[in-house]
């Protein structure tokens, strides 16, 4: 099985997004497992600052050379920041998915919502189950 | 996945860390490390592809050449032994059954290299429509095919064989040994870069693939998968059967007039009739000006109206833009025409471009 980086200080979704909690705001991106599955990222479509998003709804699109995938909101809230670098450097998602590859920051509607997300250990199991297929 | 077939190189692909996907009933490598890296390797150095899923249909006998002349849109009688041509099998409505390359082996022997998804269809088509004194044999299962493509190809190949690789002309082929295995080598390819296609017996394929990888290391040769094969052929604006071509598309609509002889082949009359009546659409290349990636099936817009459809699309690693092919009304198929590509809920600005997008 390939090695997948899964930082312990982040939370995760079943759709392979990571969430960094910073008080009442979170930063969101896709995980190392996701970027390896997708391959070379060539385009990321992100929402406008100020838009509201609902947990579970698609908030954007990530395109690799061969495929188009939706990005799903891990929490509900208002988009307060968008990573403009990804416009010219979609490859940041491949090279540094937890750092320069960050996608959006959301001001939480419900500050307790991130607790319902997967912790690193449970996300690792989710990855391992699918890697075995 | 157990119902998928495998080429003789399957174990080698696994060992090289390939991501394998279903394609035309086979489990094939879409990439080893990165589609973009493998694409760049072909453009700047060399890439090695396993395309053994493709088919080989042999025609032999006193009637073989006449049969092929009748079946193919390209001339065959005038094809000398040692030469290859691109052509199409067409149907009675002027559509394309498959696009192929035909190799003249001898006076009364030739073979067609056919698309993987069409092997059984083409075999039945040829058997049904061939003339007398023609033996038709599907040798796909016992053959393997490697494609070595890129500017360093000739140098790499020269390290594993004594064949005249440097001086061989495009669309010519020779037979001889490659890395000790009996092979037929043609200076052909599907990438738009210089390169060779190497036909082998199935049992020799893995050994030759490994020998080429070793010989090519110093030149930057990389194994390359179907993902890069598609982005490369798209930059070269080469059609892909199932996307630009199908049994409803006329070769002339697809811009392949130069591979269509005036008459004397199955489908000629229908092609000519359709053209005389005015082919309603023409295949054109386009480049996106806005951000995004065009893909097969996306609508093409002009003056706000839907006028056509994209048949292929991808980012062009060489150009740093998104490119594509699609069918539009012939009047719009002029380089510079401004169009829009419908990507989800946006009309992304694009313009018709002359092709190929990337020249040798």
How far is it, in rounded angstroms, from Cα B228 to Cα B50? 12
Q: Do A43 and B292 touch (CB under 8 A)?
A: yes
Beta bridge partners of residue B148, listed in sequence order: B48, B196
Q: Which of B35, B292, B322 sits opposite A40 (nearest CB)?
A: B35
The answer to whether A121 faces chain B, any CB pair under 8 Å, is no
pTM summary value? 0.95
Q: Which of B35, B291, B344 sits opposite A65 (nearest CB)?
A: B35
How far is it, in rounded angstroms, from Cα A25 to Cα B41? 43
For tokens 């190497």, name the residue.
B198
Q: Do B227 and A66 touch (CB under 8 A)?
A: yes
Distance from CA of A65 to the nearest CA of B (A): 6
Q: Which of A39, A45, A61 sits opposite B34 (nearest CB)?
A: A39
Distance from CA of A22 to the nearest CA of B (A): 32
Is ipTM over 0.85?
yes
Sheet of A52-53, strands arranged across: A11-12, A17-22, A25-30, A104-108, A77-82, A52-53
How many distinct helices (H) and strands (E) make up chain A? 4, 9
DSSP single-letter state for residue B161: B
User: Are the C-beta atoms of A106 and A77 separated by less than 8 Å?
Assistant: yes
What burial letters (b/e) apply to B283-306, b meaning 16+ CB within 10 Å? Answer: bbbbbbeebbbbbbebbbbbeeee
The answer to whether A84 faces chain B, any CB pair under 8 Å, is no
Give percent of chain A with pLDDT exceeding 70: 98
Distance from CA of A38 to the nearest CA of B (A): 10
The pLDDT tens digits along chain B (360 residues) read: 458 999 999 999 999 999 999 999 999 999 999 999 999 999 999 999 999 999 999 999 999 999 999 999 999 999 999 999 999 999 999 999 999 999 999 999 999 999 999 999 999 999 999 999 999 999 999 999 999 999 999 999 999 999 999 999 999 999 999 999 999 999 999 999 999 999 999 999 999 999 999 999 999 999 999 999 999 999 999 999 999 999 999 999 999 999 999 999 999 999 999 999 999 999 999 999 988 999 999 999 999 899 999 999 999 999 999 999 999 999 999 999 999 999 998 999 999 999 999 987
The structure tokens listed for B253 are: 């609509």
The answer to whether A100 faces chain B, any CB pair under 8 Å, is no
Chain B partners of A87 at a C-beta cutoff of 8 Å?
A: 291
Cis peptide before B356 (omega within 30 of 0): yes
């Amino acid at each position: 099985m390939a090695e997948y980086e899964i930082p312990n200080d982040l939370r995760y979704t079943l759709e392979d997004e990571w969430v960094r909690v910073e008080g009442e705001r979170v930063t969101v991106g896709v995980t190392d497992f996701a970027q390896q599955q997708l391959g070379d990222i060539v385009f990321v479509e992100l929402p406008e600052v100020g838009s509201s998003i609902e947990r579970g709804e698609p908030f954007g699109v990530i395109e690799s050379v061969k495929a188009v995938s939706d990005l799903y909101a891990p929490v509900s809230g208002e988009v307060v920041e968008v990573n403009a670098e990804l416009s010219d450097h979609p490859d940041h998602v491949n090279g540094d998915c937890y750092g320069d590859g960050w996608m959006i920051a959301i001001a939480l509607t419900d500050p307790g919502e991130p607790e319902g997300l997967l912790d690193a250990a449970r996300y690792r199991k989710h990855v391992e189950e699918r890697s075995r297929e | 996945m157990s119902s998928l077939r495998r080429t003789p190189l399957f174990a080698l692909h696994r060992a090289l860390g390939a991501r394998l996907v279903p394609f035309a009933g086979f489990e094939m490598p879409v990439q080893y490390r990165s589609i973009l890296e493998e694409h760049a390797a072909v453009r700047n150095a060399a890439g090695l592809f396993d395309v053994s899923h493709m088919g080989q249909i042999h025609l032999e006998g006193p009637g073989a050449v006449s049969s092929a002349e009748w079946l193919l849109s390209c001339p065959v009688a005038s094809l000398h032994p040692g030469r290859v041509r691109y052509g199409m099998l067409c149907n009675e409505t002027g559509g394309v059954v498959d696009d192929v390359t035909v190799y003249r082996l001898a006076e009364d022997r030739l073979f067609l290299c056919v698309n993987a998804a069409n092997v059984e269809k083409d075999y039945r088509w040829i058997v049904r429509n061939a003339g007398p004194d023609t033996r038709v044999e599907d040798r796909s299962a016992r053959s393997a095919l490697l494609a070595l493509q890129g500017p360093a190809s000739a140098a790499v190949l020269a390290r594993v064989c004594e064949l005249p690789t440097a001086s061989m002309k495009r669309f010519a082929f020779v037979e001889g040994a490659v890395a000790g295995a009996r092979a037929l080598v043609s200076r052909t390819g599907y990438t738009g870069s210089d390169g060779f296609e190497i036909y082998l017996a199935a049992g020799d394929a893995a050994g030759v693939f490994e020998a080429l990888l070793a010989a090519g290391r110093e030149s930057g040769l990389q194994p390359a998968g179907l993902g890069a094969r598609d982005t490369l052929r798209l930059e070269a604006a080469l059609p892909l059967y199932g996307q630009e071509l199908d049994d409803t598309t006329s070769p002339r609509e697809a811009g392949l007039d130069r591979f269509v002889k005036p008459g004397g082949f199955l489908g000629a009359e229908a092609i000519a009739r359709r053209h005389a009546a005015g082919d309603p659409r023409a295949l054109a290349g386009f480049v996106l000006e806005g951000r995004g990636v065009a893909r097969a099936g996306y609508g093409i817009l002009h003056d706000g109206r839907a006028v056509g459809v994209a048949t292929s699309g991808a980012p062009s690693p060489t150009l740093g833009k998104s490119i594509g092919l699609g069918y539009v009304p012939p009047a719009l198929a002029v380089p510079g025409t401004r169009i829009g590509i419908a990507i989800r809920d946006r009309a992304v600005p694009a313009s018709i471009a002359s092709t190929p997008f990337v020249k040798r």
